[in-house]
Each structure stands twice: as C-alpha cells, then as structure tokens.
Chains A and B, each alone.
Chain A
Amino acid sequence: MLKDITFGQYVEADSIIHKLDPRIKILLLIAYIVFIFIVNNLFSIAFASVFILAVTILSKVPVKLFAKNIKAILPIIIFTAILNALYVGQGALVIHFWVINIYEGGIYRAVFMSLRIILLIIISALLTYTSTPTALTDAIESLLSPLQYIGLKNAVHIMALMMTIALRFIPTLIEETDKIMSSQKARGASLDSGSFKQKVKALLPVLIPLLSASIRRAYELADAMESRCYNGGEGRVRMKQMTLTLKDYIAIIVSVVFFAALIILNTFAV
C-alpha cells in the first residue's frame, strides 16, 4: 500500500514547458509571483489570468489536477473574499442587510484577491508538475552556486548531495517501513486500532528498527561512496551540464513581454 505513494508531483507529458531548463522555470516562477503581487487592478489580473491559463494548457498537464490544488485551499480563498467584501467601503452601497454593508469596491476587491491567490497556486503547481524532483535539485544547486564566491562552496555541494540522496532513498525507506510494519503485525502488533495515543505508541516498534536500519545503511553508503573516490565537492565535475536552449530564450522573451504588458495595463487602465 505504501508503495503506491508517488513522491514529487511530476506529470509526464511531452510539452514545451516540460522541456524548459528547470533553472529558468524557477526564476520565471519567482518573477511571475512578484508581478502578480505588483498589479493592483482587476483588469490587469484578468489579463494575467488569460495568459497563465494559456501557459497551463500549453503544459498538457490535466486541468483537473490544478482544480484539485485550488479545491484544497478553497476555504482560504472564500475566507479572504468575504473579509475583503465586508471591510472595503468604497463605491456605491450594493447590499444592505442588518449590520452588513457590502459596497461596490468590496466586491471588486474580493474578486481581485481570489484571482490573485488562484493564479499563485496554479503557477507554482505548474513548476512541480512539469519538473522532476531530480531536475529541481540540480537546478537549485546550480542557482545557489554563486554562494561559492562568498566561501560557501562546500555548503552548496553538501546540500545538493543531501537532497539527491534523500530523493534516492525515499522509495527504499518506504519499502522498508512496509516490511517492518508487516513483520510487527505478524508478531501481533495492532497498528491501526485504539486511541490516538495508543496508535502513536504502537508506531515505536516500527520507528526504532527503521532508524537503526537507516544508520546501518548510511555507513554502508559512506563506504560505497568513498570506494568510488568521493572526496567532498573539491574537483567534482557534473556530467549533466545544464545549458540554455532556444526554447529557454523564447520563454524568457515571452515572459518579459508579458510583464511589460502587465505593467502598462496596470498603470493606464482605469
């Protein structure tokens, strides 16, 4: 049962968004988030919505996956919308009921904030849906590499290696947990009955063997890495060098044009 857990959210598809350099995707994501926060009128955010919707369709990731993401934070969206609707007191009074007064400005604001949150969710999910965890790890290592110039060379390398090994061992450890749980059940442990406290207590006989096995694994892995001439980050050259291709430049140009259009709309639209 535990085996079916997928780690990361990668959705395999053959799209231009999938093929973009993960570094560019991370940087563009940050830029999109910043611009979505900068714009402050409904007209611009509507324009951004149309553009991001187009990118989403281009990624060939099933739309229902994004819908699932939005559903997960629907309470937050509704809460924000209501709060904004109630507290913004501009424009004409639209609804007057007992102590509740909702103005035109409030409705406008509520729609705007909801759209902003939805866009943030979609654009972030787009990154994890279209990049493998390995690609993201490599990208983070590469993006952090300037830190080496301020004396943190080893820190970057160690962090990247830790992420790589963690990703690599997730399925192995899940398999091991499964085995330990089965063997404890065979000895009469009841792992899924009783109160919360009892359940937590029952997990101890699973966690302790898992921990001791992991430590043993770590020792063996260290031996194996040393045997393969691992000597810290010094002098290590990665086989897969990330290079920007035409697609990446196109993505950058399209995005910059979009940002410019967004700013213009935001300044001149009334």
Chain B
Amino acid sequence: MENIIEIKNLYFSYVDTDNNGAVLDNINLDIKKGEFLCIVGHNGSGKSTLAKMLNGLLRPDKGTVCVNGIYTSDDKHLIDIRKTVGMVFQNPDNQIIASVVEEDVAFGPENLGCSPQESRRRVDQALSAVDMAEYKNTSPYKLSGGQKQRVAIAGVLAMRPQCIVFDESTAMLDPKGRKEVIATVNKLNKQGITVVLITHFMEEARFADRLCIMDNGKILKTDTPYNIFSDYELIENTGLTLPEPMKLIKALVDCGIKIDNKVFDEKDACAAIAEVLKGGAEK
C-alpha cells in the first residue's frame, strides 16, 4: 500500500538542539493510505508533539516528515499539506471560531478560496457526514461536548482532507460524547479517509489497524492491536492500562492458566475462556 505520510529519523526538542531535552527521539514511521493508525502513550510521551509534526504545525529539528511527497519543512507548500492532513484537537471549545455552526465549518473552505456555492456544498456535506446537519444555525456554546467535537470534525472534513489526525479528541468528553466521536471516526475511516488517532484510552485503540506505542519520545513498538495487547511486558513498562476483557485474560494467564491471550473484545475473551473450560471438562 502507498504511504501518505513518511517520517524519517525525526528528532525534535522544544528547548534547544542538545540531545538532552528530546521530546521526539529518532522517530521512524510510515502511515499508509486509508489505514487506521492509533498512537498510544501516557502523558508526556511525545504523542501530541508527533501529531503537530504531521501537518507542519511543528517542524523537525533533524530528520524529515513527508506528506504525499511534500516535506513539511517546505514553507511554500504548507497549505497543501494542511489541506491533505486535517487535525482535530482535544478541547472542542478552542477550535471553533464562529458563533454559528455552519459559519465555523465554512472557515476551512473560505480560507482555501472556494466559491460561495462550493463552500455551501462542502459545509452541507460535512455536517451531514457527522450527523449535525440539523444544528447548522445553532450557536456552538449550546451544544454538548460530543456535538461540538463533531462540528470540529466537520470543519476539518469541509477541507476534503485525505487524512485526519485526532489529537486526544475524546479526552475531555463524557462517555456518551466519546462514543459519538469514535463512531464518527470509524465511519470516516470506512469511507477511505486515513485516520491517525492519538489517545491514552486503550479501549479506543482496539479498532485500529495498527497500534503504535510511544514512551519517552520513542516509538517502542508498532503492531496490530492483537499482538500489542498480548505483550504484557510492554504494556506494563509503559504504564498503560489494558481494556477490561484483556485485563481478565491477563489475570488468568498470571494464575498460570494456559489460555489463548490474543483476544480483542468481550466476545473473544468469552470464547477463549470457554475453550479452556471445555478443555478442563474433557480432561
């Protein structure tokens, strides 16, 4: 599969170029077109900094980030990069610009110089893609957190990006809002948009095609959620918590029970446990 973003030997520090304060330390990562990549790490692991690298909000100190063949260090093509890679941030309140939903969604197309008719078309499409069409004349401050975040997603969608980066976009939401946003993310990915989801909720990571574990500015492992969830040592070392079904299986493994630990959700866990129980009955 073709890569949409290629990161090579990326090094970055907020302070200076000494090797001490590295926030990102020799990152190598390829993001494939159409995939759902999840980046997980605890606070301060450098995952949000990495996100800002993807659309040129931050530039590498050393190494390169390349989006569809354009380097983010190239000032002249920054707009092209941002048109390709959209970004949804953590706090919905701090990314909505206008006092009316549809005018906020129009901000992107307006910046791109779309004609009023084209902007209107994109706004209507983007709002219906996130199921917010009926709120187009509402004030954003009257919406719930999940709804605001969906408006923010619509604002990015209206630019027609190929890839959307979600930088902890669910962290400030209640469970209901989180569910709405994750459902929207999954839907967009199915429509062919490359998704990079940055989170510290392992629950959300299980929908991903690939899971990337970050710690201390380094990528420790990139693999399928299956393989990562069963790598207990890695999970423990990075201070992450497993989703509930995997926790149960891990507890069983810790008790010395031989069980298939490549489980994914409640259903898999049930099947694995049933397998063990059946085996016991036969013996």
A168 at the interface (CB under 8 A from B): yes
Mask of B157-200 contacts with A, CB within 8 angstroms, 1/0:
00100000000000000000000000000000000000000000
Q: Could you tell me if A239 and B110 are in contact, using CB atoms closer than 8 angstroms?
A: yes
- Specify which of A134, A226, A235, A241 is in contact with B99 (CB 8 Å cutoff): A134
Contacts of A143 in B (CB 8 A): none
Mask of B74-85 contacts with A, CB within 8 angstroms, 1/0:
000001001100
Contacts of B87 in A (CB 8 A): 223-224, 227
- Specify which of A221, A228, A230, A236 is in contact with B113 (CB 8 Å cutoff): A236
Q: Could you tell me if B99 and A172 are in contact, using CB atoms closer than 8 angstroms?
A: no
B109 at the interface (CB under 8 A from A): yes
Q: Could you tell me if B99 and A239 are in contact, using CB atoms closer than 8 angstroms?
A: no
The interface on chain A, measured as residues whose beta carbon lies within 8 A of the other chain's beta carbons, has a size of 28
Complex-state Cα separation, A231 to B159, whole angstroms? 14
- Specify which of B99, B120, B140, B141 is in contact with A164 (CB 8 Å cutoff): B99
Mostly, the A contact residues are helix
Contacts of B119 in A (CB 8 A): 237, 239
Mostly, the B contact residues are helix
Q: Could you tell me if A227 and B113 are in contact, using CB atoms closer than 8 angstroms?
A: no
Q: Could you tell me if A239 and B86 are in contact, using CB atoms closer than 8 angstroms?
A: no
Complex-state Cα separation, A30 to B40, whole angstroms? 59
Tell me whether A229 and B79 are in contact in the complex, defined as CB-CB below 8 angstroms, given that A223-B52, A239-B103, A239-B109 are known contacts: yes
Q: Could you tell me if B103 and A227 are in contact, using CB atoms closer than 8 angstroms?
A: no
Nearest-neighbour CB distance to chain B for A156, whole angstroms, equals 15
Mask of B84-113 contacts with A, CB within 8 angstroms, 1/0:
001101010111111110110011111111
Tell me whether A228 and B82 are in contact in the complex, defined as CB-CB below 8 angstroms, given that A133-B99, A168-B96 are known contacts: yes
Tell me whether A241 and B116 are in contact in the complex, defined as CB-CB below 8 angstroms, given that A171-B141, A223-B89, A228-B155 are known contacts: yes
Tell me whether A239 and B120 are in contact in the complex, defined as CB-CB below 8 angstroms, given that A134-B103, A165-B97, A168-B97 are known contacts: yes
**CB proximity to B under 8 Å, residues A191-240:** 217, 220-221, 223-231, 235-240
Nearest-neighbour CB distance to chain A for B158, whole angstroms, equals 9
Contacts of B103 in A (CB 8 A): 134, 239-240
A263 at the interface (CB under 8 A from B): no
* CB-CB nearest in chain B for A166: B99
Complex-state Cα separation, A164 to B91, whole angstroms? 19
* CB-CB nearest in chain B for A168: B99
Complex-state Cα separation, A174 to B103, whole angstroms? 22
Complex-state Cα separation, A217 to B83, whole angstroms? 23
Contacts of A86 in B (CB 8 A): none
* CB-CB nearest in chain B for A171: B141
Complex-state Cα separation, A220 to B94, whole angstroms? 6
- Specify which of A164, A175, A217, A236 is in contact with B111 (CB 8 Å cutoff): A236
Complex-state Cα separation, A104 to B250, whole angstroms? 100
Complex-state Cα separation, A231 to B152, whole angstroms? 19
Tell me whether A238 and B86 are in contact in the complex, defined as CB-CB below 8 angstroms, given that A168-B98, A223-B57 are known contacts: no
- Specify which of B110, B113, B116, B141 is in contact with A172 (CB 8 Å cutoff): B141
Tell me whether A229 and B100 are in contact in the complex, defined as CB-CB below 8 angstroms, given that A223-B52, A224-B95, A235-B113 are known contacts: no
Q: Could you tell me if A231 and B109 are in contact, using CB atoms closer than 8 angstroms?
A: no
Contacts of A172 in B (CB 8 A): 93, 141
Contacts of B141 in A (CB 8 A): 171-172, 175
Complex-state Cα separation, A223 to B103, whole angstroms? 19
Complex-state Cα separation, A240 to B119, whole angstroms? 9
Contacts of B96 in A (CB 8 A): 168
B115 at the interface (CB under 8 A from A): yes
Nearest-neighbour CB distance to chain A for B236, whole angstroms, equals 33
Contacts of A217 in B (CB 8 A): 91, 93-94
B55 at the interface (CB under 8 A from A): yes
Complex-state Cα separation, A171 to B141, whole angstroms? 7
Contacts of A220 in B (CB 8 A): 89, 91, 94-95
Contacts of B55 in A (CB 8 A): 227
**CB proximity to B under 8 Å, residues A40-65:** none
B123 at the interface (CB under 8 A from A): yes
A167 at the interface (CB under 8 A from B): yes
B positions within 8 Å CB-CB of A: 52, 55, 57, 79, 82-83, 86-87, 89, 91, 93-100, 102-103, 106-116, 119-120, 123, 139-141, 152, 155-156, 159
A positions within 8 Å CB-CB of B: 133-134, 164-165, 167-168, 171-172, 175, 217, 220-221, 223-231, 235-241
Given contact pairs A225-B97, A229-B83, A237-B113, a sample of 17 additional A-B residue pairs in the complex whose CB atoms are under 8 Å apart:
A164-B99, A168-B98, A171-B141, A175-B141, A217-B91, A221-B95, A224-B89, A227-B86, A228-B82, A228-B155, A231-B79, A236-B110, A237-B110, A238-B110, A238-B116, A239-B103, A241-B116
